[in-house]
Structure 1
Amino acid sequence: MGRHGRAVVVTGASGGVGRATALAFAARGDRVALLARGREGLAAAADEVQRAGGEALVVTVDMADAKAVDDAAQKVADAFGHIDVWVNNAFAGVFAPFTDITPDEFRRVTEVTYLGCVFGTRAALHHMLPQDRGTIVQVGSALAYRGIPLQSAYCGAKHAIQGFNESLRCELLREGSGVRTTMVQLPAVNTPQFDWVLNRMPGRARPVPPVYQPEVAARAIVHAARHGRRREYWVGGSTAATLIANAVVPGLLDRYLARTSADAQQDEGEHGGPGNLWTPADGPHGRDFGAHGRFDDEAVTESRQDWISRHRGQVGGALTVGAGVLASRRLMRAVRH
């Protein structure tokens, strides 16, 4: 079955959203190239992809290395014959006040998260443009539009991806290319990153509620890959609320986040896990972290807003906006109180 599916590349595929996304493509019988640094996670992901009905190709690569990314793309093209879908998901982050992040750390986050996306996109286009088809999916975040405290490096990189993707999309449209690019803006997701990210906060890092399971993100990414003409998808009511509130009352949102966001991003407990800024958290003597983090008890498995976004043509975009406006009003009431 897998030999007849699409040829898909997923970066950051060893854990979290990337891991869940690789499995979602595999369940459709696709051939999936798994790109990441960590060998333990990649090996486990490849096994899961094959058991799910797909065909797996493991390529160990640091997305901040442009030449290595080009070489990885060529390996995929040699193995699969072509590349139909490329998902840019790899990222790095630091939980700390801006003044506590060193220049080298900030540069590293930017190189992995932003330039990794740029290098991945360039590599994908090298193979897609000659065949005049293919879809590139940029995995974004509500933080691509709305920065929050203690994640300045990550927010800056996601903002950069947003601008880069818009520019590229316009160029492809201008050229009449059959290659598509789209972006999926995610909410807080239950992934292992909160136990391996570099953290200088007093407490243990956590996602800001509501928290969604990585499979919710994966469904949206797979859908976006199949319907690449859409410029972007919003996943989760919290994403819609954040983006609409930021467009309507950004100053009010500044004050709300200044007051609440630091506490919302941490909980009690020991932290200082393996870290993955400079080396993969799962190797060479680490462990496989899988797709899920430690928040299964509170994470939700469905998103009404995501369903609306994926079926916009049937139910109308007004419902998405309306849901976001209602959520934004609740936010503004919370700020006032």
Structure 2
Amino acid sequence: MGSYGKTEAVMNQVVVVTGASGGIGRAVARAFGARQARVALLARGKEGLEAAAEDVTRAGGTALAIPTDVADFEQVDAAAARVEEELGPIDVWVNVAFTSVFAPFGEIEPEEFRRVTEVSYLGYVHGTMAALHRMKERDRGTIVQVGSALAYRGIPLQSAYCGAKHAIQGFNEALRCELLHDGSGVRTTMVQMPAVNTPQFSWVRSKLPHQAQPVPPIYQPEVAARAVVHAADHPRRREYWVGGSTVGTLLANAVAPGVLDRYLAKTGYRSQQTRAKKSPDQPENLWSPADRERDFGAHGQFDDKATPKSVQLWASRHHGVVAAAGGALAATALAVWRRARA
């Protein structure tokens, strides 16, 4: 396909983003809108959805906002049917939607844990099912699972969320194997995220005494969005790691998980809370959307601590160039060493 044909295909993409009213989902929807894609936004909050749709339109795309609770498969499947009726065949489906409870495991009620699992894990399953049913008939399409370093490494105070991310990792790997077995043209890939400055820390249910915060270093949601768009364009890679902290965490967990257990036991409670007391008026989105009457946007309250760039993301997107440069550097070093010994 020539450059014009490729550009035209990108402009005409039909993209579905779950959890599109805030945070990473909001930034992803906006990024696809900037490519003049036709973007369907799935979330529960009316104000957040409407504002996200305006973002997509303002960026140059076409927006379709569909109020959807991803925990309900019937709602998700109906949304997918509507997207194809109004926008056309779905090219890319991005699963982002989640909720959580910040609390020690012993303080989480069974119904709270179940709700987190239904949204944050089964929501991905439902989205994948709805997308795959339609994509397999055409033998094309891409499903992007927005994951986390916590898909591999559990941390204290986030047992429900970590459990969901681990589950997504497992089911996505199984699905990928099945698609490869079938020789399918449908692709699935996963993007493992670092700590991101999103509104989740202002609206998830928290039983902590102080304001919840992402564990530094913190990245802006636009960094995550760039990674998702790149993954959608290059879905043959099984997964992408975003941020140096993600790489460091996953490598440390692979080499010395027991040591990391003890380190997180000592630091995990403090590093996930600011010094400020939690506001008694903080909204919660566990059972109903926090943005039904107020738009929270893509960013959380940590703009002063978050970075808009990631050198590691650039390296991940250009790993061929990095490998070639590394090889050249190694060859040069070897040549210098041999001359020194001559």
Alignment TM-score > 0.5, same fold: yes
Q: Report the Cα offset of residue 3 of structure 1.
A: 10
Q: Distance in 1 between matches of 2:325 and 2:290?
A: 43
Q: Deviations over 1:203-241 (max 9, x none)?
A: 111000000000000000000000000000000000000
1:200-279 equivalences under 5 Å are 200-267=207-274, 268-272=276-280, 273-279=282-288
Q: Which runs of 5+ in 2 are unaligned?
A: 1-7, 327-342
Q: Distance in 1 between matches of 2:323 and 2:209?
A: 44
Residue pair 2:11, 2:35 contacting (<8 A) in 1 also: no
Letter in 1 for 2:73: A
Q: Distance in 1 between matches of 2:192 and 2:279?
A: 28
Q: Report the Cα offset of residue 186 of structure 1.
A: 0.2
Letter in 2 for 1:232: E
Q: Report the Cα offset of residue 81 of structure 1.
A: 1.7
Which residue is equivalent to 1:137? Answer: 144
1:80-119 equivalences under 5 Å are 80-119=87-126
Identity of aligned residues (%): 68
Residue pair 1:181, 1:231 contacting (<8 A) in 2 also: yes
1:65 aligns with 2:51: no
Aligned length: 317
Q: Which moved more, 1:1-10 or 1:89-98?
A: 1-10
Residue pair 1:2, 1:30 contacting (<8 A) in 2 also: no
Partner secondary structure for residue 9 of structure 1: strand
Q: Deviations over 1:160-200 (max 9, x none)?
A: 00000000000000000000000000000000110101000
Alignment match of 1:296 (pick from 280, 283, 303): 303
Partner secondary structure for residue 154 of structure 2: coil
Letter in 1 for 2:278: E
1:281 aligns with 2:290: yes
Q: Report the Cα offset of residue 316 of structure 1.
A: 2.2
Alignment match of 2:61 (pick from 54, 59, 74): 54
Partner secondary structure for residue 316 of structure 1: helix
What TM-score do the two structures reach when normalised by structure 1?
Answer: 0.92
Q: Deviations over 1:78-101 (max 9, x none)?
A: 111200000000001000000100
Partner secondary structure for residue 111 of structure 2: helix
Residue pair 1:2, 1:53 contacting (<8 A) in 2 also: no
Residue pair 1:73, 1:123 contacting (<8 A) in 2 also: yes
Partner secondary structure for residue 145 of structure 2: strand
Residue pair 2:10, 2:35 contacting (<8 A) in 1 also: no
Q: Deviations over 1:112-158 (max 9, x none)?
A: 00000000000001110011100000000000000000000000000
Q: Report the Cα offset of residue 271 of structure 1.
A: 2.7
Which residue is equivalent to 1:164? Answer: 171
Which residue is equivalent to 1:326? Answer: none
Which residue is equivalent to 2:205? Answer: 198
Q: Distance in 2 between matches of 1:167 and 1:190?
A: 31
Letter in 2 for 1:142: A
Q: Distance in 2 between matches of 1:103 and 1:317?
A: 51
Q: CA-atom RMSD, angstroms? A: 1.5
Residue pair 1:17, 1:218 contacting (<8 A) in 2 also: yes
Q: Distance in 1 between matches of 2:35 and 2:12?
A: 7
Residue pair 1:195, 1:271 contacting (<8 A) in 2 also: no
Residue pair 1:2, 1:31 contacting (<8 A) in 2 also: no
Q: Report the Cα offset of residue 4 of structure 1.
A: 4.5
Letter in 1 for 2:260: L
Q: Report the Cα offset of residue 295 of structure 1.
A: 0.5
Which residue is equivalent to 1:324? Answer: none
Residue pair 1:309, 1:317 contacting (<8 A) in 2 also: no
Residue pair 2:131, 2:143 contacting (<8 A) in 1 also: yes
Q: Which moved more, 1:306-315 or 1:200-209?
A: 306-315
Q: Distance in 2 between matches of 1:248 and 1:316?
A: 23
Structure 1: 4+ residue segments shifted above 3 A = 1-4
Alignment match of 2:155 (pick from 144, 148, 173): 148
Q: Which runs of 5+ in 1 are unaligned?
A: 320-337
Partner secondary structure for residue 73 of structure 1: helix
Q: Distance in 2 between matches of 1:3 and 1:216?
A: 20
Alignment match of 1:305 (pick from 309, 312, 330): 312
Residue pair 1:3, 1:31 contacting (<8 A) in 2 also: no
